[in-house]
Amino acid sequence: MAANTFGEVFRLTSFGESHGRGIGGIIDGCPPGLFIDLNFIQAELNRRRPGQSHLASPRQESDQIEFLSGILDGKSTGTPIAFIIWNSDQRSGDYDHIQEAYRPSHADYTYQTKYGIRDHKGGGRSSARETIARVVAGAIAKLFLTNHAIDIIGYVSEIGGISMLPLKQLPLYEEVEQSLVRCPDKEISTKMQSLIEAVKLEGDTLGGVVSCHINGLPVGLGAPVFDKFHADLAKAMLSINAVKGFDYGSGFEGVKLKGSEQNDKFVMEDGNIRTLTNHSGGIQGGITNGEEVFLRVAFKPVATVMKDQETIDKDGNHVVMKGKGRHDVCVVPRAVVIVEAMAAMVAMDHFLRNKMYQL
């Protein structure tokens, strides 16, 4: 199975399975001399880990990171950074009942057909637990970007049809993290939480939307034709488990506008070229224009529900599958840090790639 590496210059190769010994990765292309703030990286992992509230999966994993190479005296050496997070709370027996059956809307059938083998224990490689490695690489990318005054903030803007109004100003990190569902609007956050609790009692699941903003990007990141900045953002986001949609700038809503309304007028402001509006979402011609890049990522409801579902087994026999295991009712709050991580990886990768054009 190939295709486990993301990025061109700043690259992550991840490994591991949900119920294997651990999840890890190798990061290549990180410049030497970057201060690797271990406390920050662990804090990012804590934002993703299960068991952080009664709304999340009750699986108890500390997700403590162990670095194996690439760091000396707290700084990157420029060599590959290898790391691992050991699994400690596997309950593989929870999945014995699906060893021969295909779970609706999971990767069971496609993996079995493509590779001739699948790891039924927690989904193996197809499990969202793989995203741990992305959060680590994204945290290192954030440390690099912060040194260049580039900031990334994500938050939950919709769950199960309950959505926020567009923000007039970006929320503070603390405002997002104070909410159990990572929604900075207190009233909407309360409604989202109540909905998740109610749907949990039904044994069902919910989807939603994560919004993400990137500020401080220089003009010039991204390249035509196939390496457009937004194209790489789209690939990054759509590679996340359960993601069903991506848009940026005015996105799908922009199709309701006329061209004259959609166009961003250029103006001169304090000696700098700016745009009066930002329907482009900070990207024009696939290249960043210096304005804020903002995007939205849609997550489907979790495919594992605590209700009986009809399906078939590998021999084509109809079976009834019982809902078992420890799963999120809604993954969207835990996915915020994953969206941020992928955005950071794309931004850092393009930042480093862009240096070849600078004399």
Reported residue count of the chain is 359
Question: What's the rounded mean pLDDT across residues 72-84?
Answer: 98
- 74 pLDDT more than 80: yes
Q: What's the confidence (pLDDT) of residue 20? A: 84
- 91 pLDDT more than 70: no
* Dihedral, 24, 105, 297, 325 alpha carbons, nearest 10: -50
Q: What's the confidence (pLDDT) of residue 157? A: 98
Q: Residue 152, SS3? A: strand
In whole angstroms, give the CA distance from residue 286 to residue 233.
11
Question: What's the rounded mean pLDDT across residues 33-45?
Answer: 98
Q: What's the confidence (pLDDT) of residue 101? A: 83
- Cβ-contact 226, 219 below 8 angstroms: no
User: Hey, which residues does 275 pair with through a beta bridge?
Assistant: 266
Range in 126-130, 213-217, 238-242 with the lowest mean pLDDT: 126-130
Q: Around Cβ 270, how many Cβ atoms within 10 Å?
A: 5
Q: What's the confidence (pLDDT) of residue 93? A: 54
- 116 pLDDT more than 70: yes
- 120 pLDDT more than 80: no
Q: What's the confidence (pLDDT) of residue 99? A: 74
Q: How far apart are the first and last CA of the chain?
A: 40
Please spell the DSSP secondary structure of 287-308, one letter per residue.
EE-SSPEEEEEEEPPPS--SS-
Number of domains in the chain: 1
Whole-model pTM: value is 0.94
In whole angstroms, give the CA distance from residue 109 to residue 114.
9
Place of tokens 């001739």: 116
Question: What's the rounded mean pLDDT across residues 297-322?
Answer: 89
Average pLDDT in the chain: 92
Range in 52-56, 105-109, 139-143, 287-291 with the lowest mean pLDDT: 52-56
Which one is predicted more confidently, 128 or 164?
Answer: 164
Per-residue b or e along 215-235, where b marks 16 or more CB atoms closer than 10 Å to that residue's CB: eebeebbbbeeeebbbbbbbe
Q: Is the alpha carbon torsion for 236, 326, 155, 210 positive or negative? A: positive
User: Hey, which residues does 321 pair with through a beta bridge?
Assistant: 309
Question: What's the rounded mean pLDDT across residues 256-277?
Answer: 96
CATH number at residue 247: 3.60.150.10
- Cβ-contact 133, 25 below 8 angstroms: yes
Nearest to 106 by CA among 88, 91, 118, 94: 118
Place of tokens 């862009």: 354
- Cβ-contact 249, 279 below 8 angstroms: yes
pLDDT band at 175 (very low <50, low <70, confident <90, very high): very high
Q: Residue 257, SS3? A: coil
In whole angstroms, give the CA distance from residue 175 to residue 156.
12
Domain that holds residue 146: 5-357
Q: Tell me the chain's radius of gyration from C-alpha atoms.
A: 21
Q: What's the confidence (pLDDT) of residue 60? A: 63
- 258 pLDDT more than 90: yes
Helix axes 131-146, 332-354, angle to 10 degrees: 50
